[in-house]
Copies of this chain bind each other. A is one copy, B any other.
Amino acid sequence: MTDDAASADRRVRTSFAKQGLMRTLGARLAKVTPGQVEIVLVPNPEVSQQHGFVHAGAVSAIADSAAGYAALSMMPVDRGVLTTEFKINLLAPATGERIIARGKVVKAGRTLTLAQAEVFSENEGKERLIALLTATLMAIEGRDGIAD
């Protein structure tokens, strides 16, 4: 791991550990490289909607975090990020052994960064695309105590 990669990894892991929602959902930070982040959620009744699938809100939560952390991993150290908007297309019910959200930066800008997350359902070693999220993140510089 290069210094940059190690530093991005540490930065994202420290911040992720502060996200109470990720712990509550049972989501796990699987991989971090600069510009790319993977979050994994194991389906269970505590994150379900009424038909037993993983709730769109839980899918969105890990996809938003994956996209947001991909953006954060490329930010100067004195800047945090806030999601200003996202759009998610839900392509198939979220079921299976694991739900995997992979976030990546599409374009990093001074004020706004565009990131995407693909969400896969994994079953018997095979992955299937179940959702696609596109998010705009705003860089926040030392405002209102907002950092990583």
Contact = CB atoms under 8 A, between A and B. Distances in A.
Contacts of A62: 57
Contacts of A136: 84-85, 89, 136
Give the interface size class of chain A. Answer: 35 or more
Nearest to A129: B107
Given A51-B146, A145-B51, A82 B90 contact: yes
B111 A111 contact: yes
A29 interface: no
Nearest to A84: B90
A132 interface: yes
Contact of A89 (B15, B60, B114, B148): B114
Interface in A40-57: 44-51, 55-57
Contact of A57 (B15, B60, B129, B147): B60
A122 B49 CA distance: 26
Contacts of A107: 91, 129
Nearest to A44: B20
A35 interface: no
Nearest to A87: B87
Interface string A47-84: 11111000111101110110000000000000010111
Interface of A: 15-16, 18-25, 44-51, 55-58, 60-62, 64-65, 80, 82-91, 93, 106-107, 109, 111-112, 114, 129, 132, 134, 136, 138, 144-148
